[in-house]
Structure 1
């Protein structure tokens, strides 16, 4: 025995051993396609896609804020350029993110299409043949038809025909077999929609991927502040900030316009609840919309969480505040600036910061920073403050500067920040001249050293809009609903098979009757299979109740 084993070992390790054939290029492609189209591979790619999106929230993205990217690279001269080489500032348009996205798409297509074709063939096919031994199925029952109290038993063929009709009413697709034989039977199957739901779920995932890709490629979003009685025309230069899709073209902008006619802010005025007094309760903007040049104007209302849809573009109300109208005359007596100035609320009572740059003033450029107090309280010995968000006693408190504002060198600046390092201070709370205070009684003030005058003309309201155009939004929603429906179908629809056979037999007392035996099999886990077997038993009872239906008890030999 040892000698034989040694000879086999030598033969297997020698030069005459069987060589495994190489796959070859075509075989390698088939193997790679098989691995890529596995459901486990699709799940791994989906996880990789989620992980790959993380750097997009960790690092500034060039498409959203190129200045922030440049600042990050300047602040990190060692790691910044390397991060840029790996496209971590352009994550969602990078080659590696696009590769994962494309592989996931191909993997899902490769999973779904063959699976759908296979299920279509299974749907068109007949129910499986009747097993020889129904007793081996997880759920097995037998009932006796007739043969008691003189009741006439139905023939096996008649019993199977009635069983076929009953199963069809319960949603089974059925096929009766051997009706003219001694043991006719019927094969039945239901729950084919379960796999349809599964396929629908995966097709919907493909729809979500395609919709997201469409939105990121061809959509855009932007922000715009509109002051009362002013209009916004949907052009690229009109936006305060704009984030285009990867393949977006400015020619695709819908040529609509929006004018802010009035803005109404309601605040809590119930004095019995002082803790909530002054809290905002509702914001409503009255706007006039023109969907395209020459079209009829439409009056609309814009509220928080109630966006306005203009030709597929959504306008969201996301902010509001005060815009005091200011007139500035320079030292030569010329009008250097007149118009509303957008302020930024800093607290719940709308104490708002203000920055005004006047580059057209002469002989020196002028700059102002300060606060707008909507309902000002000027107590002696304390700082001025606002006690209510409503516009009851508006007061402007400002500091003034002159010098070079740095706007002529071509570098972009934040309109809400004034760099005072290169400017000379004229007014402030800490200077001898004091701060400029403008209210209802004192509307204008002279600037020191003959630099001009500043006048508080009026106060207007403004709204901040988020403007979104996502062509993939509706397809994504439809795909999400389809995925949810498919998931529900795949979870709650049971795939089952049932077989019923009838033959002439005898009960334990030797009385001739028709034996109806049936068994059920679940495709996958189905804890409700036993309940289905009991329902079929009740069904047979109701069908042949007048012929004396009886349970046929099982013993150990029945399951042998």
Structure 2
């Protein structure tokens, strides 16, 4: 009988092969390299290194004033760093490229591994090898061990092994938690990256100093923040509407000056509802819809009333900022650019603007020098001020800090020092031109941060599952065991004289597998003895 072979004939020896598209080959090889675990680890390491400049150098989205100061301190280096995005690291092109490549690499690693893991979970444990004595763990159980494969399988199932019975052989496997934890770890890492991306795209935050009093109320608009950062998918109109007014601030200090309690009470005014009173502290933020208000700091704003030579009075309650002294020494400035305007002509000489710069001491010393506070609470408040008169430089269009004088105006002689005075609440200082400055008192202020982080919950859950997956990956051990029942000559598998041969194989390095295998063999043997005693009792 003649058989016809329908298979395609093999190409003759030496025949040219079908040409491979070099573009497809390059793309295939590049994808394999990108989705390899080695590449993912390298990208993760690069991401950690790329984040270092964002922690060392000041960032525009966090503190633009420090960035400007860095340009002043390093006029040659700062422009070069700015060209490569060192002051906006987390929004730079190169950081985003590493971020996206890592995300793609992780997804490319997880998908095939997850498919293989699901396939492995659905497969039955493999059949026993022919020679069990060659395995790392081996034992032979003689009667009265459990010679019934189903009885052996029942013992293994009670110990949470995946079991398959094939005739007179029992195959069991355990330790899938290792690969499950590994996949859970990588999936959680992708979820962390998604949470960071979600917060970066749709999140926003802003910082603001809020002085007590209705005239210093703050409404949640971008213009009223001292510094604010909105995500690329967030517009100013997307900010939730609400207004805050600081009613009072309470601070308790120990005898050593260490703070023990901070509590801010504010009036919250939201559209569609009546104004309400709410309180928050450092570790208990105020939650207003999708935004959280955090308490970052506190201080005092001296209330200074200046009466110019024409009798016109102006009041400044600008906050003085902490100098870093644990006893709350503060420095700041009170400027009066509209002072000394002639009421008859409505004009003012350009060199008649007035400003006062100096220190505020909540608890000043009884005797000079008055340079540092002795306690953070107000026990002996005083201000140590230096008066300046001249051109403040506000009309030059050059941005500057509202908490410091423009020292360039002092250096070029356009702003001149005219005196120095220490004032306590209620005291007045008469200047050389007949104008007066009165230290009325102080108002407390707080520094608040208003934030909306939509990916925060996702990141929290992802971090918890990441740790759980890491523990499962580290402590899970894949191992297999086999039992083979050998009946005597002419006997049956259930006869008392059968032999049971056992073998064990750890799939990964597992120092504790030998004791576990011994305990498993002992459990099978003890179960066989109990079963034999039960049969003898029935007989």
Match of 1:260?
246
For the Cα contact (< 8 Å) 2:390–2:416, is it kept in 1? no
Structure 2, unaligned runs of 5 or more: 1-13, 342-351, 490-494, 534-539
Return closer, same or farther for 1:141/1:300 CA change in 2, 3 Å cut-off.
Answer: farther
The structure-2 alpha-carbon separation of the partners of 1:391 and 1:80, relative to structure 1 and needing over 3 Å to count, comes to closer
Contact 1:143 1:517 in 2 (8 A): yes
Separation in structure 1 between the aligned mates of residue 73 and residue 298 of structure 2, nearest angstrom: 34
Counterpart check, 1:205 vs 2:189: yes
Distance change (3 Å), C-alpha of 1:20 and 1:283: same
1:402 to 378, 383, 389: 389
Partner of 1:37: 35
Alpha-carbon contact 2:184-2:469 (below 8 Å) kept: yes
Q: Which of 529, 533, 536 is equivalent to 2:517?
A: 533
Per-residue deviation at 1:341? 2.5
Question: Aligned partners of 2:57 and 2:322: how far apart in 1?
Answer: 28
Asked if the contact 1:373/1:385 (under 8 Å) is kept, the reply is yes
**Cα drift, residue 459 of structure 1:** 1.6
Q: What does the per-residue CA deviation read over 1:341-393, in whole Å, with 9 as the maximum and x for residues that have no partner?
A: 311233333332231011121232210112223233343x7557643333233
Give the alignment of 1:404-423 within 5 angstroms.
Answer: 404-419=391-406, 420-421=410-411, 422-423=413-414
Which of these residues, 355, 370, 373, is aligned with residue 361 of structure 2?
A: 373
Q: Deviations over 1:253-305 (max 9, x none)?
A: 22233332211121223xxxxxx3x3332222223334x32335444332233
The match for 1:332 among 310, 318, 322 is 310
In the alignment of these two chains, the number of paired residues is 498
Residue 269 of structure 2 corresponds to residue 285 of structure 1: no
In structure 2, the CA distance between the partners of 1:466 and 1:399, relative to structure 1 (3 Å rule), is: same
After TM superposition, give the deviation of residue 56 of structure 1 in Å.
Answer: 3.2
Alpha carbons of structure 1 residues 80 and 199: separation in structure 2 relative to 1, 3 Å: same
Tell me the distance in 1 between the aligned counterparts of 2:204 and 2:396. 30
- CA-based RMSD of the aligned residues comes to 2.9
Structure 2 CA distance for partners of 1:296 and 1:123, relative to 1, 3 Å: farther
Asked if structure 2 preserves the Cα contact closer than 8 Å seen for 1:258 and 1:288, the reply is yes
In structure 1, what is the equivalent of residue 153 of structure 2? 164
Shift in Å, 1:249: 2.2
Cα contact 1:63–1:244 (8 A) shared by 2: no
Q: Deviations over 1:425-452 (max 9, x none)?
A: 4642xxxxxx334324x532333213x3
Q: 1:298 to 1:190 in 2, by over 3 A?
A: farther
Contact 1:60 1:89 in 2 (8 A): yes
For the residues of structure 1 that align with 2:303 and 2:440, how far apart are their CA atoms? 5
| Structure 2 counterpart of 1:99 | 97
| TM-score, normalised relative to structure 1 | 0.81
Indicate how the Cα distance of structure 1 residues 217 and 546 shifts in structure 2: closer, same or farther if over 3 A, else same.
closer
Equivalent residue for 1:389, pick from 376, 384, 388: 376
Q: Is the partner of 2:433 in helix, strand or coil?
A: helix
Within 2, Cα distance between the matches of 1:384 and 1:44?
Answer: 53
The residue that corresponds to 2:236 in the other structure is 250
Deviation at 1:106, TM superposition (A): 0.9
Q: CA deviation at 1:471?
A: 1.6
| C-alpha contact (below 8 Å) 1:145/1:547 kept by paired residues | no
Alignment correspondent of 1:544: 528
Q: Any idea what SS the aligned residue of 2:283 has? A: coil
Distance 1:459 1:70 in 2: 30
Q: Distance in 1 between matches of 2:275 and 2:174?
A: 57
Give the TM-score normalised by structure 2: 0.84
Hey, what's the Cα distance between the residues in 2 that align with 1:60 and 1:67? 9
Deviation at residue 63 of structure 1 after TM alignment: 4.2
Q: Compare 248-257 and 121-130 and name the one that shifted more.
A: 248-257
Q: Could you say if the C-alpha distance between residues 134 and 289 of structure 1 is closer, same or farther in structure 2, counting changes exceeding 3 Å?
A: farther
Matched residue, 2:333: 355
SS of 2:142's equivalent?
strand
Instruction: Classify 1:55/1:259 alpha carbon distance in 2 versus 1 (closer, same or farther; 3 Å).
Output: same
**Does structure 1 conserve the Cα–Cα contact (< 8 Å) formed by 2:305 and 2:440?**
yes
Range with bigger deviation, 124-133 or 18-27: 18-27
Cα distance between partner residues in 2 of 1:252 and 1:46: 34
Q: Distance in 1 between matches of 2:153 and 2:303?
A: 84
Whether contact under 8 Å (2:207, 2:225) holds in the other structure is: yes
- Pair 1:484 & 2:467 matched: yes
Tell me, in whole angstroms, the C-alpha distance in 2 between the residues paired with 1:542 and 1:501.
Answer: 17
Alpha-carbon distance change, 124 to 340 in structure 1, aligned in 2, over 3 angstroms: same
Conservation of the 8 A alpha-carbon contact between 2:63 and 2:227: no
Q: Judging changes above 3 Å, is the alpha-carbon distance between structure 1 residues 468 and 74 closer, same or farther for their aligned structure 2 residues?
A: same
Q: Distance in 2 between matches of 1:424 and 1:76?
A: 27
How far apart in 2 are the matches of 1:221 and 1:90? Answer: 16
* CA distance, structure 1, for counterparts of residue 80 and residue 363 of structure 2: 53
Report the counterpart of residue 536 of structure 2 in structure 1.
none
Q: Which residue of the partner structure matches residue 108 of structure 2?
A: 110
CA contact (8 A) 1:426 1:447 kept: no
Q: Say which SS state the counterpart of residue 125 (structure 2) adopts.
A: coil
**Distance change in 2, residues 1:75/1:262 (3 Å):** closer
**For 2:301 and 2:16, how far apart are their aligned partners in 1?**
88
1:488-527 equivalence runs, <5 A = 488-505=471-488, 513-527=497-511
